[in-house]
Amino acid sequence: MKFKTLLIFCAAMALGKPSFAADPGDYDDRGNPPRMIMPMRSDNSLFSFLFLARKTSSVTEHDDTRTDFREQVNTAPGRVGLVTGKQKVTIGGSTVRREDDVRYSVTSSQDIDAAMGEVFTSAGIEYGAYEDVMINGGGPDPKLIQAQFATTDDMSAQIRSKVFAAARKCNVRYFSVGTIDIGLKDVDPVTGNKRVYVSVRAQLWDISPMIPRKIGSVGPVQFCGLGPDQSVAGRNALIIAAKETAITLTEQLNAKGVR
C-alpha cells in the first residue's frame, strides 16, 4: 500500500498537477490531495456598533468670585457707669468657583465608522452597519440619538434598550456603544501645528440574553491629532482614536472566541 501511494503521488507530479506540502501518505488512493482546512468562523457572533461624536463648540471660563464681609459687634457695657466702649470686628469672605460652561454640537460619525470598519475587516470580524439594523430591526435613527448626545454625556438607558432590541431582531449578538468628544484646537509646542484632542469611551455588550451583559470596555482615553488647521487635526485625531478603539474591541471579541 505504501508503494502504491508513492507511485500515485509520483504520477501526479509527472502529470503536472500542483504539488502540496504534505506527506504522500495523506493522499487518497486516487491521488487526490488532502483537503485544505480553513479556519472556522464563529457561529452566532454577528457584531455591530454605534458610535456618537460631538465636538466642542465653545468653552466659557468663569473667574473666581470673592465676596468679603465685615461684621462689627458692640461689646460696651450699658449706659450705667463710666466705661470705655469696645468693638469686636470680624473680617472674612468666601470664594465661589464655577465649572466651565462647555457647549457641544453633533458631528458626523462617517470617519469613525470607516476607520473602525477597516480594522474589523482586517481582523476577520464580521459586522453589520447600524444603518441596516435601523432599517431591518426598527432601531432609533442615529440623528435623534446624536441630538440627545449634544446635551448629555451618554446614551440614555431607554435609547440603548431600543437599539439592542433592534439589533437582536437582526441576529446581532455583540454590540458596542461608544462616544467620542472632540476638543478645541491649540498649538503643538514642538511642531507649531494645530493640535486637537479627542476623548473616547466605549462599552462592549453581549445582547443575546434579555438582560445584556457588559463584557468589555475602552477608556476613557485621550488621543491627539496634528494638522495645518483645526479641521485636519481633528480628523486625524478622530481616525487615530477610532482605529485604536477598534483594535482594543477586536482583542476583547477574540477573547470571547469571536474570529
Question: Can you tell me the distance from the alpha carbon of 191 to that of 196, in angstroms, rounded to the nearest whole number?
Answer: 13
pLDDT of the residue at 14 = 40
Question: Can you tell me the distance from the alpha carbon of 112 to that of 201, in angstroms, rounded to the nearest whole number?
Answer: 13
Q: With respect to residue 217, please indicate whether it lies within any of the assigned structural domains.
A: yes
Query: Which SS3 state, helix, strand or coil, does residue 224 take?
Result: strand
Question: Can you tell me the distance from the alpha carbon of 207 to that of 44, in angstroms, rounded to the nearest whole number?
Answer: 12
Identify whether residues 122 and 233 lie together within a single domain: yes
Contact between residue 245 and residue 178 where contact means Cβ atoms under 8 Å apart: yes
pLDDT of the residue at 22 = 46
Q: With respect to residue 42, please indicate whether it lies within any of the assigned structural domains.
A: no
Identify whether residues 10 and 69 lie together within a single domain: no
Identify whether residues 23 and 87 lie together within a single domain: no
Identify whether residues 180 and 106 lie together within a single domain: yes
Question: Can you tell me the distance from the alpha carbon of 44 to that of 76, in angstroms, rounded to the nearest whole number?
Answer: 88
The tally of CA atoms less than 13 A away on the side-chain side of residue 134 is: 13
Identify whether residues 137 and 85 lie together within a single domain: no
Q: Domain range spanning residue 89?
A: 65-96
Going residue by residue through the chain (259 aa), what tens digit of pLDDT does each one get?
A: 444 443 333 333 344 444 444 455 555 555 555 443 334 445 567 999 999 888 876 555 545 555 656 655 555 555 555 445 555 555 666 555 555 555 666 677 888 899 999 999 998 888 999 999 999 999 999 888 887 777 777 788 899 999 999 999 999 999 999 988 888 889 999 999 999 999 999 999 999 999 999 999 998 999 999 999 998 999 999 999 999 999 999 999 998 887 6
Identify whether residues 130 and 55 lie together within a single domain: yes
Which CATH number belongs to the domain containing residue 207 in this structure? 3.40.50
Identify whether residues 229 and 132 lie together within a single domain: yes
Against a cut of 0.75, is the pTM above it?
A: no
Question: Strand pairing partners for 178?
Answer: 51, 202
In the chain, where does DSSP find H-type helix? 2-14, 110-122, 130-137, 142-149, 157-169, 230-255
Question: Can you tell me the distance from the alpha carbon of 109 to that of 239, in angstroms, rounded to the nearest whole number?
Answer: 10
Identify whether residues 207 and 244 lie together within a single domain: yes
pLDDT of the residue at 32 = 53
Identify whether residues 6 and 105 lie together within a single domain: no
Nearest to 204 by CA among 41, 43, 51: 51
pLDDT of the residue at 52 = 87
Pairing of strands 127-128, 47-60: parallel
Q: How many domains does the structure of the chain reveal? A: 3
Question: Can you tell me the distance from the alpha carbon of 211 to that of 221, in angstroms, rounded to the nearest whole number?
Answer: 27
Largest CA distance in the chain: 137
pLDDT of the residue at 96 = 53
Q: Nine-digit cell at 19?
A: 504539488
CA dist 195 → 10, 45, 134 (Å): 66, 38, 35
Q: With respect to residue 9, please indicate whether it lies within any of the assigned structural domains.
A: yes
